[in-house]
Amino acid sequence: MKKLLLGNEALAQGAIDAGLSGVYAYPGTPSTEITEYIQKSKIAQELKIHSSWSVNEKTAMEAALGMSYAGKKSMVVMKHVGLNVAADVFMNMSVSGINGGLVVVVADDPSMHSSQNEQDSRYYGKFAMIPILEPSNQQECYDITKYAFELSEELGLPVLIRMVTRLSHSRAGVITGKRMAQNTVQLPKISTQFQLIPMHARGRYQHLVDIQPDMLEISENSAFNIFYQGANKTIGIIASGIAYNYLMENFEDGNCPFPVLKISQYPLPKEPIKVLFDTCEKILVLEDGYPFIEEAISDFLGENRKIIGRLSGNIPRVGELNPDNIANALGFDIVINENLPKVVMGRPPQLCVGCGHNDLFNAINALKNESATQQVFGDIGCSALGVLSPYESINTLIEMGSSITMAKGASDAGIHPAIAVIGDSTFTHSGMTGLLDAIIENTPITVIISDNSAIAMTGAQDSAASGRLISICKGLGMEEDHLKVITPLHKNLQENIDVIREEINYKGVSVIIAQRPCVQLPKEKKDKLKEYTNVSIN
Amino acid sequence: MHSKINIILAGVGGQGILTIAAVLDTAALDNNLNVKQSEVHGMSQRGGAVQSHVRISDKPIYSDLIPQGKADMIISVEPMELLRYLPFLKKDGYLITDSNPFENIKDYPELETLYNEIKSHKNHILIDAMKIAKDLGNSKATNIVLLGAASSLIPLSDESFQKAIATLFERKGERIVAKNLEAYLKGKEIAAELVS
């Protein structure tokens, strides 16, 4: 029977049915529902599949590698920028290889619906020299994930599955198959495999290079790379992943007259691309994200104008694909009957009614009026909404954890007051190490941890920081005199302004924990939080 | 009969457009039709503009997104959000919306301007669905009133809509199921009066 599943859910079910023993992840749009599906799955609970959230993507990937080392099948899931955090282990585990099947799932966000860039994870896959799979629809999300675990164990390498927002967050009917058995514990056969000291790493890297031709052969014979013949050779089309759907949308009942190579597995299959190149007048490359394929098969000096796509300007260089920009590239007319009426105003996201960040920003803004030099370094999460009107409290927003370290660098350069605002989960994700830098030098910065005890933006998942912030800060070496707790409520505004002002005036590092539970948390969780919010610092 | 429809659902994060989508999906599957339904998660959910594309067909559906100019109807829980997706509407497509504004931005337009824009379309159903839902004793069912108002324009049986509503609200108990069925029928009734 068909089940109606999000692309993310189909992928998760595919992993369970592949014999998964553990999923490791940190929430991030558009990847979050993959792990949540496994957390809620009854079968996953019966099979004791590990699915608790990790502190960040690096710890998640390392734990997945540890489970693979022990012989079991594991998966690690993140959004595209999360792979930057995990890049160290990602690049090195392709050299060590894996033991139990290991699948890395990365959800890219073309058009930056919920992200700060639209980096294309296929470059990482190529960089690490491992196979990449790119499903085009929900059924393929399921099928490809099961296949990914087989492929991983066959090659002894991690396999990357690349998702995009529109596939992650779209539902369709999916037919599921039988479930494979989980692996038992079995240590690696070669004792030196995971010991990447140079003398062993050189051998492993040579092995990785040596099996590249095998990977290419597998890709050229893959059931997920399909060559569709077409009589009209004026143009040959390469469509990867979800681009294939947008292409077919432009033809009645999917009857495309042109030859089409649908690509869902990499390394790029050379043979069919060569056939397309030799038999067609032009090649149109359709891919969501960066011009990865187009660049790989284009002539570097640009003397051969046969290949068109994003680089040639036939498809916009930035932003996600859709049926319309592909229709344009094919020279089809788009009939738009109506334009967007002028009366329609933008409606950007905003903080929920009753959100504690609101009252914190009000306090920070009051202090902005006292010091023209005040700079506020922000961070990822709901608190990032402080960039927007009506607050406009935050001057910078770059990536997870950067608030504290940028404040430190700016302070070193002479900026005062230098205030960092970071959410509780972002702090444990990658703010703690930066705070240690500041503590070691006693840098005059004021760190405000806006603690709503949730990973709020992605749906109020459990935060690793809950109940631990004070002990973490003390453990890192924070002086008790400059470790303060406030409650960001309107009635406390003046008191909170006074606390922040006092810490700004202190010529050393201060941490203010602004504690108020996320309004999206269920009541049971809020009640549980009361147990620790009343704990005093001393 | 060839069954095919493209619907855009619009609103502000938290207004329940995904519930409308879920009813449509469930009813379509019950009719053995193909469904694709895209939705918005993450940052834009927080009080921002949200949309869902629902595509139902007896043939394979390729794109998860509806091309511009190809939507048969837009159902919106908020009048300005309805107009945001006009470039997707096909010629003489249907506009179905609640009349109550969700004003969480400074430059929210004059309501009359919005209503005039909506009324300039031949096929529109502009109703105070929120009041209808409140009068029925369940203000949360505004979305289901709107679905009811749109239902006769969607090639899915009345029975399958009611079955889908019953299935989706089952968890919340019989009373909530009954309240939502009532909201659905009232929406359907009012739309029939308006259209006739």
What's the residue count for chain B? 196
Question: What are the helix (H) ranges across chain B?
Answer: 17-30, 79-84, 111-119, 129-135, 142-151, 158-169, 174-195
Strand, helix or coil for residue B73: strand
Residues A102-154: tens digit of each pLDDT? 999 999 999 999 999 999 999 999 999 999 999 999 999 999 999 999 999 99
Q: What is the pLDDT of residue A219?
A: 98
Residues A239 and A204 in one domain: no
Kindly calculate the radius of gyration of chain B based on its CA atoms and give it in whole angstroms. Answer: 16
State percent of chain B over pLDDT 90.
88
Block residue for tokens 């694709």 = B36
Residues A373 and A515 in one domain: yes
A54 assigned to some structural domain: yes
Q: Work out how many domains chain A is built from and give that number.
A: 3
Residues A325 and A362 in one domain: no
Judging contacts by C-beta atoms under 8 Å, the chain A residues touching residue B12 are 347
Strand, helix or coil for residue A46: helix
* B64, B72, B105, B124, best to mutate vs chain A, most A CBs in 10 Å: B64
Nearest CA in chain B to A242: B63
In sign, the C-alpha dihedral spanning A41, A47, A48, A51 is negative
A399 assigned to some structural domain: yes
CA distance A171 to chain B (A): 5
Question: What are the helix (H) ranges across A283-331?
Answer: 292-297, 323-329
Judging contacts by C-beta atoms under 8 Å, the chain A residues touching residue B25 are 4, 171
Residue B176 CA to residue A14 CA, distance in Å, equals: 34
User: Which domains does chain B carry?
Assistant: 4-100+113-195 (3.40.920.10)
A201 assigned to some structural domain: yes
Looking at per-residue confidence, does A335 or B175 come out higher? B175
Which of A294, A329, A364 is a domain's end point?
A: A329
Across chain A, mean pLDDT equals: 96
A525 pLDDT band, cuts 50/70/90, is confident
Looking at per-residue confidence, does A299 or B188 come out higher? B188
Q: Mention every residue, 6+ apart, whose C-beta is less than 8 A from residue A524.
A: none
Which of A329, A364, A397 is a domain's end point?
A: A329
Question: Whole-prediction pTM value?
Answer: 0.96
Residues A435 and A324 in one domain: no
A221 assigned to some structural domain: no
Q: Over 80: is that where the pLDDT of B87 sits?
A: yes
Judging contacts by C-beta atoms under 8 Å, the chain A residues touching residue B108 are 345
Residues A192 and A309 in one domain: no
Q: What is the CATH number of the domain that holds A307?
A: 3.40.50.920
Residues A335-369: tens digit of each pLDDT? 888 999 999 999 988 899 999 999 999 999 999 98
Residues A22-70: tens digit of each pLDDT? 999 999 999 999 999 999 999 999 999 999 999 999 999 999 999 999 9
Nearest CA in chain A to B26: A4
Residue A281 CA to residue A308 CA, distance in Å, equals: 11
- By Cβ distance, the residue of A323, A344, A351 closest to B80 is A344
Cβ of A4 within 8 Å of Cβ of B29? The answer is yes
Residues A197 and A243 in one domain: no
C-alpha distances out from residue A215 to A211, A221, A264, A390, Å: 6, 10, 14, 53
CA A236 from chain centre, in angstroms, equals 33
Residues A279 and A181 in one domain: no
Judging contacts by C-beta atoms under 8 Å, the chain B residues touching residue A8 are none
In the structure, how many helices (H) and strands (E) does chain B have?
A: 7, 6
Q: What is the CATH number of the domain that holds A183?
A: 3.40.50.970
What's the residue count for chain A? 538
Task: Count CB atoms within 10 A of the CB of residue A301.
Answer: 6
Residues A523 and A391 in one domain: yes
Cβ of B44 within 8 Å of Cβ of A4? The answer is no
A218 assigned to some structural domain: no
Residues A166 and A241 in one domain: no
Judging contacts by C-beta atoms under 8 Å, the chain B residues touching residue A327 are 67
Q: Over 50: is that where the pLDDT of B1 sits?
A: no
Domain containing residue A50? 2-210
Residues A407 and A325 in one domain: no
Residues A283 and A373 in one domain: no
Q: In what order do the strands lie in the sheet with A375-377?
A: A375-377, A418-423, A446-451, A510-515, A483-486
Q: Mention every residue, 6+ apart, whose C-beta is less than 8 A from residue A208.
A: A94, A95, A97, A129, A157
- By Cβ distance, the residue of B29, B62, B83 closest to A341 is B83
Judging contacts by C-beta atoms under 8 Å, the chain A residues touching residue B69 are 334-337
Cβ of A33 within 8 Å of Cβ of B41? The answer is yes
Q: Mention every residue, 6+ apart, whose C-beta is less than 8 A from residue A471.
A: none
Residue A325 CA to residue B67 CA, distance in Å, equals: 10
A537 pLDDT band, cuts 50/70/90, is low
* B63, B88, B168, best to mutate vs chain A, most A CBs in 10 Å: B63
Residues A418 and A305 in one domain: no
CA distance A170 to chain B (A): 4
Which of A210, A239, A257 is a domain's end point?
A: A210
Structure tokens at A374: 């005040």
A93 assigned to some structural domain: yes
Judging contacts by C-beta atoms under 8 Å, the chain A residues touching residue B48 are 347-350
- Whether the ipTM is more than 0.90: the answer is yes
Q: In what order do the strands lie in the sheet with A260-263?
A: A226-228, A260-263, A235-240, A282-286, A307-308
CA distance B175 to chain A (A): 23
Residue B37 CA to residue A167 CA, distance in Å, equals: 10
User: How much is the average pLDDT of A475-482?
Assistant: 97
A343 assigned to some structural domain: no
Block residue for tokens 């009611």 = B162
Strand duo A510-515 + A2-6: pairing: unpaired
A342 assigned to some structural domain: no
CB of A206 within 8 A of CB of A217?
Answer: no
